[in-house]
Amino acid sequence: MNQPLQHITVLLNEAVDALLGESDDAAQGTYIDGTFGRGGHSRLILSKLAPEGRLIAFDKDPLAIAEAGRITDSRFSIRHEGFRHMSELPDACADGILMDLGISSPQIDAADRGFSFRFDGPLDMRMDTTRGQSVAEWLADAEVQQITDVIRDYGEERMAYPVAKAIVAHREAHGPLQTTLALSELIAKVVKTRDGQNPATRTFQALRIFINAELVELEEALQASLRVLKPGGRLVVISFHSLEDRIVKQFIAEHSKEVFDRRTPFAAPKAMRFQALDRIKPSKAEVDANPRSRSAIMRVAQRTEVPA
Protein backbone atom coordinates (compact mmCIF):
# COMPACT_ATOMS: atom_id res chain seq x y z
CA MET A 1 0.00 0.00 0.00
CA ASN A 2 1.28 3.47 -0.83
CA GLN A 3 2.02 5.61 2.18
CA PRO A 4 0.54 9.12 2.36
CA LEU A 5 2.84 11.93 1.28
CA GLN A 6 3.29 13.51 4.72
CA HIS A 7 6.17 15.87 5.28
CA ILE A 8 6.85 18.69 7.71
CA THR A 9 8.74 21.41 5.86
CA VAL A 10 11.74 22.62 7.85
CA LEU A 11 12.22 26.38 8.37
CA LEU A 12 9.18 27.00 6.20
CA ASN A 13 8.40 30.62 7.02
CA GLU A 14 12.01 31.58 7.68
CA ALA A 15 13.14 30.28 4.29
CA VAL A 16 10.37 31.95 2.30
CA ASP A 17 10.79 35.25 4.18
CA ALA A 18 14.53 35.14 3.46
CA LEU A 19 13.88 34.38 -0.21
CA LEU A 20 11.19 36.97 -0.88
CA GLY A 21 11.90 39.53 1.80
CA GLU A 22 9.53 40.27 4.66
CA SER A 23 7.55 43.03 2.94
CA ASP A 24 3.78 42.75 3.01
CA ASP A 25 3.72 43.53 -0.70
CA ALA A 26 3.28 40.62 -3.11
CA ALA A 27 6.59 39.46 -4.55
CA GLN A 28 7.12 40.06 -8.22
CA GLY A 29 9.61 38.38 -10.50
CA THR A 30 10.80 34.80 -10.96
CA TYR A 31 11.85 32.42 -8.21
CA ILE A 32 13.35 28.93 -8.22
CA ASP A 33 12.59 26.12 -5.78
CA GLY A 34 15.47 23.78 -6.51
CA THR A 35 14.05 20.91 -4.45
CA PHE A 36 10.25 20.76 -4.64
CA GLY A 37 9.97 17.72 -2.34
CA ARG A 38 6.38 17.67 -1.17
CA GLY A 39 5.79 21.31 -2.05
CA GLY A 40 5.74 23.05 1.32
CA HIS A 41 8.05 25.89 0.32
CA SER A 42 6.61 26.13 -3.20
CA ARG A 43 3.03 26.50 -1.99
CA LEU A 44 3.95 29.23 0.47
CA ILE A 45 5.98 31.08 -2.18
CA LEU A 46 3.00 30.95 -4.56
CA SER A 47 0.73 32.38 -1.86
CA LYS A 48 3.00 35.42 -1.65
CA LEU A 49 3.64 35.94 -5.38
CA ALA A 50 2.09 38.75 -7.38
CA PRO A 51 -0.12 37.75 -10.35
CA GLU A 52 2.76 38.33 -12.76
CA GLY A 53 5.22 36.35 -10.60
CA ARG A 54 6.61 32.99 -11.59
CA LEU A 55 7.93 29.95 -9.71
CA ILE A 56 10.09 27.29 -11.37
CA ALA A 57 10.67 24.09 -9.40
CA PHE A 58 12.99 21.14 -9.89
CA ASP A 59 12.92 17.62 -8.47
CA LYS A 60 14.30 14.21 -9.43
CA ASP A 61 11.77 12.15 -7.47
CA PRO A 62 8.82 10.87 -9.56
CA LEU A 63 6.57 11.06 -6.49
CA ALA A 64 7.46 14.71 -6.04
CA ILE A 65 6.60 15.33 -9.69
CA ALA A 66 3.24 13.64 -9.11
CA GLU A 67 2.62 15.82 -6.06
CA ALA A 68 3.52 18.93 -8.07
CA GLY A 69 0.88 17.90 -10.59
CA ARG A 70 -1.75 18.78 -7.99
CA ILE A 71 -0.77 22.45 -8.24
CA THR A 72 -2.88 24.10 -10.93
CA ASP A 73 -1.49 27.63 -10.52
CA SER A 74 -0.44 28.93 -13.96
CA ARG A 75 2.49 30.77 -12.36
CA PHE A 76 4.06 27.43 -11.41
CA SER A 77 6.07 24.96 -13.46
CA ILE A 78 8.23 21.98 -12.51
CA ARG A 79 11.03 20.11 -14.25
CA HIS A 80 11.73 16.42 -13.62
CA GLU A 81 15.45 17.07 -13.15
CA GLY A 82 17.95 17.80 -10.43
CA PHE A 83 18.60 21.43 -9.55
CA ARG A 84 21.98 21.36 -11.29
CA HIS A 85 19.87 21.88 -14.44
CA MET A 86 19.06 25.44 -13.39
CA SER A 87 22.31 26.13 -15.27
CA GLU A 88 20.21 25.80 -18.43
CA LEU A 89 18.11 28.84 -17.50
CA PRO A 90 18.84 32.28 -18.99
CA ASP A 91 21.34 34.64 -17.40
CA ALA A 92 20.02 36.86 -14.59
CA CYS A 93 16.51 35.44 -14.85
CA ALA A 94 15.82 34.71 -11.17
CA ASP A 95 15.01 36.98 -8.25
CA GLY A 96 15.70 34.22 -5.76
CA ILE A 97 16.81 30.59 -5.46
CA LEU A 98 15.87 28.22 -2.64
CA MET A 99 17.52 24.82 -2.11
CA ASP A 100 16.24 22.56 0.66
CA LEU A 101 18.80 19.75 0.61
CA GLY A 102 18.64 16.14 1.76
CA ILE A 103 15.67 13.79 1.64
CA SER A 104 12.06 14.17 2.71
CA SER A 105 10.24 12.22 5.39
CA PRO A 106 8.12 10.28 2.85
CA GLN A 107 11.31 9.15 1.12
CA ILE A 108 12.87 8.04 4.41
CA ASP A 109 9.71 6.29 5.60
CA ALA A 110 8.94 4.42 2.38
CA ALA A 111 10.54 0.99 2.74
CA ASP A 112 10.58 0.39 -1.01
CA ARG A 113 12.90 3.37 -1.55
CA GLY A 114 15.68 1.79 0.51
CA PHE A 115 16.85 4.99 2.22
CA SER A 116 16.39 3.83 5.80
CA PHE A 117 17.86 1.02 7.87
CA ARG A 118 14.70 1.14 10.02
CA PHE A 119 12.66 -0.68 7.36
CA ASP A 120 13.49 -3.72 5.29
CA GLY A 121 13.33 -3.03 1.58
CA PRO A 122 15.32 -3.15 -1.64
CA LEU A 123 18.74 -1.52 -1.39
CA ASP A 124 17.96 1.27 -3.85
CA MET A 125 18.41 4.83 -2.48
CA ARG A 126 17.98 6.58 -5.85
CA MET A 127 16.20 9.92 -5.73
CA ASP A 128 15.06 9.28 -9.29
CA THR A 129 13.90 5.69 -9.55
CA THR A 130 13.47 5.99 -13.32
CA ARG A 131 17.16 6.17 -14.11
CA GLY A 132 20.64 5.42 -12.82
CA GLN A 133 22.20 2.68 -10.75
CA SER A 134 20.87 1.52 -7.39
CA VAL A 135 23.11 1.02 -4.35
CA ALA A 136 22.66 -2.75 -4.64
CA GLU A 137 23.82 -2.67 -8.26
CA TRP A 138 26.86 -0.57 -7.41
CA LEU A 139 27.87 -2.71 -4.42
CA ALA A 140 27.61 -5.84 -6.58
CA ASP A 141 30.75 -4.80 -8.51
CA ALA A 142 32.60 -2.15 -6.49
CA GLU A 143 36.05 -2.93 -5.11
CA VAL A 144 36.96 -2.67 -1.43
CA GLN A 145 38.90 0.58 -1.94
CA GLN A 146 36.05 2.20 -3.89
CA ILE A 147 33.55 1.35 -1.16
CA THR A 148 35.97 2.51 1.53
CA ASP A 149 36.47 5.87 -0.18
CA VAL A 150 32.72 6.48 -0.47
CA ILE A 151 31.91 5.54 3.13
CA ARG A 152 34.86 7.53 4.50
CA ASP A 153 34.44 10.64 2.35
CA TYR A 154 30.63 10.94 2.35
CA GLY A 155 29.81 9.34 5.70
CA GLU A 156 32.86 10.38 7.71
CA GLU A 157 32.86 6.82 9.03
CA ARG A 158 36.17 5.91 10.69
CA MET A 159 35.37 2.19 10.26
CA ALA A 160 34.94 2.60 6.50
CA TYR A 161 37.58 0.03 5.53
CA PRO A 162 36.28 -2.76 7.80
CA VAL A 163 32.73 -2.11 6.56
CA ALA A 164 33.87 -2.24 2.93
CA LYS A 165 35.80 -5.46 3.56
CA ALA A 166 32.73 -7.03 5.18
CA ILE A 167 30.52 -6.04 2.21
CA VAL A 168 32.88 -7.60 -0.31
CA ALA A 169 33.42 -10.71 1.83
CA HIS A 170 29.65 -11.20 2.08
CA ARG A 171 29.34 -10.77 -1.69
CA GLU A 172 31.99 -13.42 -2.34
CA ALA A 173 30.51 -15.88 0.13
CA HIS A 174 26.77 -15.34 -0.27
CA GLY A 175 26.21 -13.10 -3.29
CA PRO A 176 25.54 -9.34 -3.48
CA LEU A 177 23.59 -7.57 -0.77
CA GLN A 178 20.03 -6.86 -1.91
CA THR A 179 18.15 -5.39 1.06
CA THR A 180 18.52 -2.61 3.60
CA LEU A 181 18.13 -5.06 6.50
CA ALA A 182 20.92 -7.29 5.20
CA LEU A 183 23.27 -4.32 4.89
CA SER A 184 22.40 -2.81 8.28
CA GLU A 185 22.85 -6.17 10.03
CA LEU A 186 26.23 -6.61 8.37
CA ILE A 187 27.34 -3.12 9.45
CA ALA A 188 26.21 -3.76 13.03
CA LYS A 189 28.70 -6.62 13.25
CA VAL A 190 31.55 -4.25 12.34
CA VAL A 191 30.64 -0.84 13.78
CA LYS A 192 29.83 -0.22 17.42
CA THR A 193 26.93 2.07 18.28
CA ARG A 194 28.11 5.54 19.33
CA ASP A 195 26.10 8.20 21.18
CA GLY A 196 22.88 6.30 20.60
CA GLN A 197 23.32 6.46 16.84
CA ASN A 198 22.53 3.37 14.79
CA PRO A 199 25.81 1.80 13.52
CA ALA A 200 24.49 1.97 9.94
CA THR A 201 23.71 5.70 9.97
CA ARG A 202 26.92 6.99 8.42
CA THR A 203 27.26 4.24 5.84
CA PHE A 204 23.67 4.68 4.65
CA GLN A 205 24.19 8.45 4.42
CA ALA A 206 27.38 7.95 2.43
CA LEU A 207 25.86 5.52 -0.06
CA ARG A 208 22.84 7.76 -0.61
CA ILE A 209 24.97 10.85 -1.21
CA PHE A 210 27.24 8.95 -3.59
CA ILE A 211 24.60 7.15 -5.64
CA ASN A 212 22.73 10.44 -6.20
CA ALA A 213 25.89 12.55 -6.71
CA GLU A 214 24.39 14.97 -4.17
CA LEU A 215 27.51 16.99 -3.36
CA VAL A 216 28.54 17.28 -6.99
CA GLU A 217 25.06 18.48 -7.86
CA LEU A 218 25.11 21.01 -5.02
CA GLU A 219 28.44 22.44 -6.20
CA GLU A 220 27.16 22.73 -9.77
CA ALA A 221 23.93 24.39 -8.65
CA LEU A 222 25.78 26.91 -6.51
CA GLN A 223 27.99 27.82 -9.44
CA ALA A 224 24.90 28.18 -11.63
CA SER A 225 23.37 30.58 -9.10
CA LEU A 226 26.13 33.10 -9.84
CA ARG A 227 24.88 33.42 -13.39
CA VAL A 228 21.14 32.81 -12.94
CA LEU A 229 20.50 35.26 -10.08
CA LYS A 230 19.76 38.88 -10.83
CA PRO A 231 21.68 41.54 -8.89
CA GLY A 232 19.96 41.78 -5.53
CA GLY A 233 18.55 38.26 -5.83
CA ARG A 234 18.63 35.98 -2.80
CA LEU A 235 20.24 32.56 -2.41
CA VAL A 236 18.76 30.48 0.42
CA VAL A 237 20.16 27.02 1.20
CA ILE A 238 19.02 24.64 3.94
CA SER A 239 21.46 21.83 4.68
CA PHE A 240 21.21 18.89 7.06
CA HIS A 241 24.73 17.61 7.52
CA SER A 242 28.22 19.05 7.79
CA LEU A 243 29.39 18.06 4.30
CA GLU A 244 26.60 20.04 2.63
CA ASP A 245 26.88 23.01 4.96
CA ARG A 246 30.66 23.19 4.51
CA ILE A 247 30.25 23.45 0.74
CA VAL A 248 27.60 26.18 1.05
CA LYS A 249 29.55 28.10 3.69
CA GLN A 250 32.78 28.02 1.69
CA PHE A 251 31.01 28.98 -1.54
CA ILE A 252 29.39 32.05 0.02
CA ALA A 253 32.62 33.02 1.78
CA GLU A 254 34.64 32.67 -1.43
CA HIS A 255 32.34 34.98 -3.34
CA SER A 256 31.76 37.46 -0.51
CA LYS A 257 35.13 39.15 -0.84
CA GLU A 258 37.06 41.10 -3.43
CA VAL A 259 39.74 39.04 -5.16
CA PHE A 260 43.11 40.54 -6.03
CA ASP A 261 45.27 39.03 -8.75
CA ARG A 262 48.82 38.94 -7.35
CA ARG A 263 50.22 38.68 -10.86
CA THR A 264 48.80 42.12 -11.72
CA PRO A 265 48.96 44.06 -8.45
CA PHE A 266 47.80 47.36 -9.96
CA ALA A 267 44.71 45.91 -11.63
CA ALA A 268 41.29 46.53 -10.12
CA PRO A 269 40.18 43.68 -7.84
CA LYS A 270 37.54 41.24 -8.97
CA ALA A 271 34.33 42.40 -7.30
CA MET A 272 32.57 40.38 -4.65
CA ARG A 273 29.63 38.47 -6.08
CA PHE A 274 27.63 37.66 -2.93
CA GLN A 275 26.97 39.29 0.39
CA ALA A 276 26.40 36.86 3.25
CA LEU A 277 23.23 37.88 5.09
CA ASP A 278 22.30 35.31 7.69
CA ARG A 279 22.72 31.88 9.26
CA ILE A 280 19.57 30.48 10.85
CA LYS A 281 18.81 27.30 12.78
CA PRO A 282 15.36 25.96 13.73
CA SER A 283 13.88 27.24 16.95
CA LYS A 284 13.52 24.99 19.98
CA ALA A 285 9.78 24.87 19.34
CA GLU A 286 10.34 23.61 15.78
CA VAL A 287 12.86 20.99 16.90
CA ASP A 288 10.47 19.80 19.63
CA ALA A 289 7.67 19.49 17.07
CA ASN A 290 9.86 17.97 14.35
CA PRO A 291 13.06 16.31 15.70
CA ARG A 292 14.30 15.74 12.13
CA SER A 293 14.84 19.50 11.86
CA ARG A 294 17.46 19.61 14.62
CA SER A 295 20.46 19.38 12.29
CA ALA A 296 19.22 21.98 9.78
CA ILE A 297 21.25 25.10 9.02
CA MET A 298 19.96 27.77 6.64
CA ARG A 299 22.41 30.17 5.00
CA VAL A 300 21.25 33.29 3.16
CA ALA A 301 23.24 35.41 0.72
CA GLN A 302 22.40 38.17 -1.73
CA ARG A 303 23.79 38.58 -5.25
CA THR A 304 25.67 41.82 -5.47
CA GLU A 305 25.46 44.35 -8.27
CA VAL A 306 27.39 43.29 -11.34
CA PRO A 307 29.89 46.06 -12.20
CA ALA A 308 29.50 47.67 -15.59
**pLDDT, tens only, 161-194:** 999 999 999 999 999 999 999 999 999 999 987 6
- Reported as a single tens digit per residue, the pLDDT across 27-56 is 899 999 999 999 999 999 999 999 999 999
The two beta strands, 274-280 and 297-303, are antiparallel
Can you give the pLDDT at residue 263?
63
- 266 by Cβ neighbours in 10 Å (0-12 / 13-18 / 19+) ranks as exposed
Domains of the chain: 12-105+214-303 (3.40.50.150), 129-211 (1.10.150.170)
pTM over 0.95: no
- What pLDDT is stored for residue 215 in this prediction? 97
Report the C-alpha gap between 53 and 49 in whole angstroms: 5
- State the pLDDT at residue 170: 98
The per-residue pLDDT for 308 is: 43
Low-confidence residues in the chain, pLDDT < 50: 1-5, 308
What was the pLDDT predicted at 67? 95
Q: How far apart are CA 171 and CA 164, in angstroms?
A: 11
